[in-house]
Structure 1
């Protein structure tokens, strides 16, 4: 592990983290997806190039992604709230069950080995890819969000899956809210606040779980790499407007299909890594 102290190695890692931020920010602006669904697979492919131990690769990717979601979710939620498109009543009713789900998901992610966590991400990535690749218009299961136990169950599902995958609430939350009658702008606005509820406690859990692990690279606070956090956040914010601008010149459906293909290929690579 001495090679990780080499300034050239550290510079290379820093450059890779900056590129990760630029890619995730551009795609977030381009497709309206949360950065986590991009950051985790990119880091999953980047970390092996730098000799980071396989045993910690996935947890480090998830933990670092969760940390980056905190500031970006706060910024996004504030903007959506100011525009009045956020369903505050629905958010308040879902927040407790999402928080419980986050606790469960974080504990599972900490307890599971890296391979099992990779499998979870790959399976959900396939589901997201199918959703983006096969649906061209809004599809609704019903016109209103269920109440009572089903509502709490849905909130718990969003929190559990998001914490385990290192993503904000948008990737899972927006399709679910849309499925139950929320207009797409309202779904995006409300789900933007899910990221705060998910990322803060989950990040704390990943920091605590990884403290003292000798396999982690330098500048890591538990399973959060501080080099990644410091560079991904500003570069993703810088690149997001580029994606928004680009989105107006490329057919949205084509973009969704392309991103679905990216997720599908990433999932297949993850499955292959588990079998190899």
Structure 2
């Protein structure tokens, strides 16, 4: 049962997610998924399918949030087209595979593995703040393969992949602002491919609430999307104005928080 309090909380969630998406290049799934797990019972949704609905709805909202963030970053010149060209095919394949693998992997194991990976990335980014990165981007084939892994993990966790792709790109010589902007572009395509899998798997589930498209809960999607696509421009402007070292610190601290939440 959708009520005004539920809608108001979704609008507030979308506003915060949009700013973080523009600032850090994340799709917002790391915020949306746990938030929806808390909010969905307010709408009377069965706890047995709430995780699938949270993941699918998160991916659907990421299409809007990352797409809006990518558009704003593209206007600001913060997108590296080589990265997009070779990382995107891999993340699309991985995103669709992740949605299918989600049917087979026990969900209680994924947060621990993902949390450990994110913690390692956070530590690496903190160490890289003072030094100049000497690595260069790998070849197109390796980049595509890494993109497949990023897409699969992201789809399984209901996220846009920025927590993985931004540190990877920055470690391999992509300037922080362009890593954030390029990640936003790839994140929207991860979400599209992962979402397709969740819609197919949820198509014939009988216990879905009204106003659902597969596992996607449309009232939650619209509530998050209508404010997030407006606030991404704020985050994108902040990302352009902040010094690279400050942006790295913010991102690293965000990753530590996410890793700690998932590990605990």
Identify the TM-score tier after normalising by the shorter chain.
0.7 to 0.9
Pick from 144, 166, 172 the counterpart of residue 174 of structure 1.
Answer: 166
Q: TM-score normalised to the size of structure 2?
A: 0.81
> 2:109 aligns to what SS in structure 1?
helix
Rounded Cα–Cα distance in structure 2 between residues aligned with 1:130 and 1:245: 28
Q: What corresponds to 2:175 in structure 1?
A: 183
Name the residue aligned to 2:194: 202
| Partner of residue 218, structure 1 | 210
User: Aligned-pair distance for 1:95?
Assistant: 2.4
Greater CA drift, 193-202 or 220-229 = 193-202
* Among candidates 156, 160, 164, match of residue 164 of structure 1: 156
Pairing partner for 1:123 from 113, 133, 144: 113
Q: Select which of 108, 112, 115 maps to 2:101.
A: 108
Are the equivalent residues in 1 in contact too, given 2:125–2:248 (CA < 8 A)?
A: no
Q: Which moved more, 1:130-139 or 1:33-42?
A: 130-139
After superposing the two structures, state which structure 1 stretch, 47-56 or 194-203, moved more. 47-56
Between stretches 48-57 and 217-226, larger displacement belongs to 48-57
After TM superposition, give the deviation of residue 45 of structure 1 in Å: 2.5
Query: Matches of residues 37-52 of structure 1 in structure 2 within 5 Å?
Result: 37-52=30-45
2:90 counterpart residue number:
97
- Report the 3-state secondary structure (helix = DSSP H, G, I; strand = E; otherwise coil) of the residue aligned with 1:216: coil
- Cα distance 1:244–1:180, how it changes in 2: closer, same or farther (>3 A)? closer
CA distance in 1, matches of 2:123, 2:44: 34
TM-score, normalised on structure 1? 0.78
Other-structure match for 1:146 = 138
Q: Contact 1:77–1:189 (CA<8 Å) still a contact in 2?
A: yes
- Matches for 1:245-264 after TM superposition, within 5 Å: 255-256=250-251, 259-260=254-255, 262-264=257-259
**Residues 90, 253 of structure 1: CA spacing in aligned structure 2 closer, same or farther, 3 A cutoff?**
closer
Tell me which moved more, 256-265 or 64-73.
256-265
Instruction: Say which SS state the counterpart of residue 230 (structure 1) adopts.
Output: helix
1:274 aligned residue? none
Contact 1:65 1:167 in 2 (8 A): yes
Preserved CA contact (<8 Å) 1:60 1:223? yes
CA distance in 1, matches of 2:212, 2:235: 30
Q: Which residue of 1 aligns with 2:225?
A: 233
CA RMSD of aligned residues (A): 3.1
- Could you list the runs of 5+ residues in structure 2 that have no partner in the other structure? none
> Residues 64-102 of structure 1: CA distance to partner in whole angstroms, max 9, x if unpaired?
011111122222222333333322123212222222212
Tell me the distance in 2 between the aligned counterparts of 1:51 and 1:259: 31
Report whether the alignment pairs 1:76 with 2:69. Answer: yes
Distance change >3 Å, CA 10–CA 222, structure 1 → 2: farther
1:20, CA displacement in angstroms?
Answer: 2.3
Structure 1 residue 11: Cα displacement:
3.7
How many residues are matched?
A: 258
